[in-house]
Amino acid sequence: MIIAAGLSPAWQQILEVNSLQTGEVNRCQSAQWTSSGKVINVGIAVRHLGTPCETIFPAGGFARELIAAELEQLGVSCRVLPQQSPTRVCTTILDRSTNQTTELVENAQPVTEAELAEFRSEYLRHLKSAQVVVLTGSLPAGTPSTFYRDLLIETHCPVILDARGPELEAALDEEPFLVKPNHEELERTLMTELPDTDSLIQGMQEINGRGATWVVISQGKDTLWATSREHVYRFTPATAEVVNPIACGDSLAAGIAVGVHRGKPVPEAIRWGMAAAADNLTQLLPARLCEKRMQAFFDQIEVEQIA
């Protein structure tokens, strides 16, 4: 089983417009509502890949029942823990004339100490059945930056950690199996600019040296880099039609987790994650993956060990 766990779910609105005009009235050609946020996206993606998964997150307000109902309809096994604060609402605007995406992201509301304790208890209850864990998403205001680190201390299977800044730094001491900050998040974590490939790889290997077994940096349609303590890999992504880029990073994490769960070597698991991200890109709703479509993308992805 895979566990997907995080504190920042969202109720997501996706709007398609012919041509976004800021400062003007824009009429939408379509509008969709769906459950989202990193933790939910990972859970949905893993479910679509046919791997047992438990998705654990808090939710409150009107969105709680909507999220729970949709995930039940999708067959996503989850623990939707009660939260006093309402779950955030985020909006994605897809401009079809430019293929640009505009994100209106509400920050997650604070989680109380009692709610954090309940989350931890639920996580530990399911942990004994897990072979892989994905810890993902930003921490709400007031949550200790050591929150993920403390979960890692209790976890004795591979952990894929999608976090940044102080929470990533704190977690490195507990040697997560794989971390996947983006380029900007890596710069923020290291507090330095990484303007070229050499400095990027050096920065990734610094994170390896501080505890992460693997570091993965994706750059959209450009090269994906992965480093271990011994090796550097360069991956060339597949070409995919852009419909909605939201949840591509979460699909990448989910695909890697499924690959590791199936016993694939890590470079092959990363290719599988990249195929998941490419497939997600072609779908309007996040994380609605299909293994048959993914296989076609997987076959396009090239990997080269350069060190």
Domains observed in the chain: 2-21+28-305 (3.40.1190.20)
The pairing of strands 232-236 and 132-136 is: unpaired
| Euclidean distance between CA atoms 265 and 271, whole angstroms | 10
Per-residue pLDDT tens for 218-258?
988 899 999 999 999 999 999 999 999 999 999 999 999 99
Q: Give the model's confidence band at 188: pLDDT under 50 very low, under 70 low, under 90 confident, else very high.
A: confident
Indicate the average pLDDT of the chain: 97
C-beta neighbour count of 274 within 10 angstroms: 28
Fill in the amino acid letter for 133. Answer: V
- pLDDT at position 84 is 97
Quick one: average pLDDT of 14-18?
Answer: 98
Triad 297, 303, 304: Cα angle to 5°: 165
Answer whether 0.95 is exceeded by the pTM. yes
List the one residue out of 43, 40, 33 whose CA is nearest residue 7: 40
| Euclidean distance between CA atoms 163 and 215, whole angstroms | 12
